[in-house]
Amino acid sequence: MDAPLPRSFYDGNVCDVAQRLLGQVFIRILPDGSRLAGRIAEVEAYAQDGDPASHSCRGRTERNAVMFGEAGRLYVYFTYGMHFCCNVVTGPEGQGDAVLIRALEPLEGRDIMARHRYGRTLITEREERNLLNGPAKLCKAFGIDRKMNGCDLCGETVRIVSGNTPRPPHIGRSSRIGIGSGSELAWRFFIPESDWLSKPGKGIFRNEP
């Protein structure tokens, strides 16, 4: 079994952790033992301080309590009355920072992901490209819902493991997607060469390694 990344991996500045997550592998073990895996291709950072788009900007609530817990937990929220999104909690306890996972490259369990998303395994090329290229899409494909809020990413059911690949040669950077307040912050990070991005044409900065 792949060892999960240590909790210390998540205990840092939210933008730094967001960039370190690129290229790592997100794994979900389903109740029947089936394994789903995808390489992290795109993320967004959200911070309690100075970020009006973050759920934690106004302090701790029942909904966002997991954001204020220990680093390395999964924060899952429901949005638009129909979708779940999942985030990785970062930094020290009490800080309220997290990284939204926006897109994955499918690696294992593709047929199960397709059934979750489309109700069938035979899908078009377009549906294949849209399988995991959005935060709600990947949650549906991986069967992530509110019951997984607070799950330990250093455990077995859901975890992030080393991608065993070199650091991406470039890290793309842009403003975040689908928000109003805080849109001036360029806190969306992605692998520019990836074919699995939610917004492949959106990106204005590149960080050199």
* Neighbour-count burial of 65, counting CB atoms closer than 10 A to its CB (0-12 exposed, 13-18 middle, 19+ buried): middle
**pLDDT (tens digit, 9 = 90+) per residue, 78-88?**
987 789 999 99
Is 203's pLDDT higher than 80?
Answer: no
CATH number of the domain within which 104 lies:
3.10.300.10
Whether 198 maps to a domain, the answer reads yes
CB contact set of 190 (below 8 Å; sequence gap of 6+) = 22, 41, 42, 43, 102, 103, 171, 172, 173, 174, 197, 203
* Neighbour-count burial of 147, counting CB atoms closer than 10 A to its CB (0-12 exposed, 13-18 middle, 19+ buried): exposed
**pLDDT (tens digit, 9 = 90+) per residue, 100-159?**
999 999 999 999 999 999 999 999 999 999 999 999 999 999 999 999 999 999 999 999
* Placement of tokens 């109700």 in the chain: 119
Whether 207 maps to a domain, the answer reads no
Confidence at residue 207, expressed as pLDDT on a 0 to 100 scale? 62
Whether 2 maps to a domain, the answer reads no
For 13, the domain range is 7-202
The whole-model pTM stands at 0.94
Give the chain's largest Cα–Cα span: 45
Phi, psi for 139 (deg, rounded to 5) = -65, -40
Confidence at residue 127, expressed as pLDDT on a 0 to 100 scale? 97
Count up the domains in the chain and report the number.
1
Confidence at residue 209, expressed as pLDDT on a 0 to 100 scale? 45
pLDDT category at 205 given cuts 50, 70, 90 is low
Whether 208 maps to a domain, the answer reads no
